[in-house]
Amino acid sequence: MTPERPVSRALAFAALAFAAFVLVSPVVADLVPTAAVVARLGNDYLLVAAFAAFALAATVAVLLARAATGVAEATPPAVEGVAPASMGREVDAALDALPPLRTTAEHGRVHGRLRRAAVSAVAERDRCSRSAARERVERGEWTDDADAAAFLATATLEDPPLKRKLGTLLAGDHWFRRRVRTAVAALQSLEGDRT
């Protein structure tokens, strides 16, 4: 807020208060020599027209001043952002936290959950029992993706050779994460088959 604004506001409120007192108090109204001005102008309407012309000129002056100096606006505070939710962000973070060369129990848990998901998806898609679906998963008959089928074919996580682990690591990937992505993509294609 510029320092001129409080002054102009104070003057405007003072003029408004004075006008209100003129309307309600004959003593204050006598302080304004309207009779002499009307007599000089010759008509009441000319007095009103003079006030209207003054108000119009003041409005134009304010608008020109604003156009020349611009309008000062307060800058609103920055809105705090929330990272948009993404599907599988927690899974990705958990996979990133796994050690790249050593197979842990967490690797086994992720593998087991994917295998159970594959069995459930196959049972639902083929409308068969869970044991029949499990057999299809073990035989690799649930997907056309050979890597995904091999990854979930056994109940225990088979550790690939160290050479393969190092190869994927040098390629900038993680062997387990790659296999999980392959299996998830195969499961998603099962979802697509059901719809």
Would you state the pLDDT for residue 162? 83
Which DSSP state fits 32? Answer: S
Please tell me the distance from the alpha carbon of residue 171 to that of residue 10, in angstroms, as a whole number. 73
16 C-beta neighbours (distance < 10 Å), count: 10
For 72: left if phi > 0, alpha if psi spans -120 to 50, otherwise beta; the answer is beta
List the one residue out of 105, 81, 79, 78 whose CA is nearest residue 94: 105
At residue 76, what are phi and psi to the nearest 5 degrees? -70, 150
What stretches in the chain show pLDDT beneath 50? 1-3
**Helix spans in the chain (H):** 4-24, 26-31, 34-41, 44-69, 89-97, 105-126, 130-139, 146-152, 162-170, 175-194
In tens, the pLDDT along 18-37 reads 888 878 887 877 777 778 88
Residue with tokens 């069995």: 119
Residue with tokens 């050479």: 163
Please tell me the distance from the alpha carbon of residue 177 to that of residue 189, in angstroms, as a whole number. 18
Would you state the pLDDT for residue 31? 79
Please tell me the distance from the alpha carbon of residue 107 to that of residue 88, in angstroms, as a whole number. 16
Please tell me the distance from the alpha carbon of residue 11 to that of residue 46, in angstroms, as a whole number. 25
In tens, the pLDDT along 168-194 reads 888 888 888 888 989 999 998 887 766
pTM for the model stands at 0.52
